[in-house]
Amino acid sequence: MLSARSVLVLVEVQQRILDMPLAPIPGSAVVDAVVRLRDAFDRAAAPVVIVRHLREDGADDVVERLEPGRGEHLVTKTGVDAFSGTRLVADLRDIGAKSVVIAGVSTKHGVGTTAAKALALGFEVTVVSDATASSSIEEHQSTLWRLNEDGVAVKTVAELLAR
């Protein structure tokens, strides 16, 4: 069950990235899954953080269906993970977060590095396997396997929302 102490962190749900070839699912399927997650967190009155990667060329727009709203937090990052050089850890602590649920792109980079950092910072971490994608199926699967071996829970949208 989702609670106000669970925070959904959506990493790099940006149009430019989601238009790239992704596996095992295309960017449009990632967006559909992320929208389901965000809606569930909204119903549970649990916080949502949207993390965008700032680009010099300005191609950093969040997908229209996921633009921040309804009290959601927007974090702008310049590094690989969502914590380095941002106020994300302070914001999570300020709202009393105990666990983070991470989705977005890419599994190996933005999502994976953010999950590893969140775990190192002492949060309970879940990565939603069918709400993230990478440049190849192998990269996606090996990243999820490594994260799980390190202590990150890996669940599907259905598994997460069935709790």
Domain spans in the chain, listed from the N-terminal domain onward: 6-162
30 touches 21 (CB < 8 A): no
- Per CATH, is 6-162 categorized as 3.40.50.850? yes
pLDDT of residue 18: 87
**Average of per-residue pLDDT across 114-118:** 98
Q: Would you say residue 4 has pLDDT above 70?
A: no
Does pLDDT of 1 surpass 60?
no
116 pLDDT exceeds 80? yes
pLDDT at res. 64? 77
Evaluated on CA atoms 55, 62, 31, 85, the torsion sign reads positive
41 vs 44: CA distance, rounded Å: 5
Specify the pTM.
Answer: 0.94
pLDDT digits (tens, 9 = 90+) for 52-110: 888 777 677 777 777 777 678 888 888 889 999 999 999 999 999 999 999 999 989 99
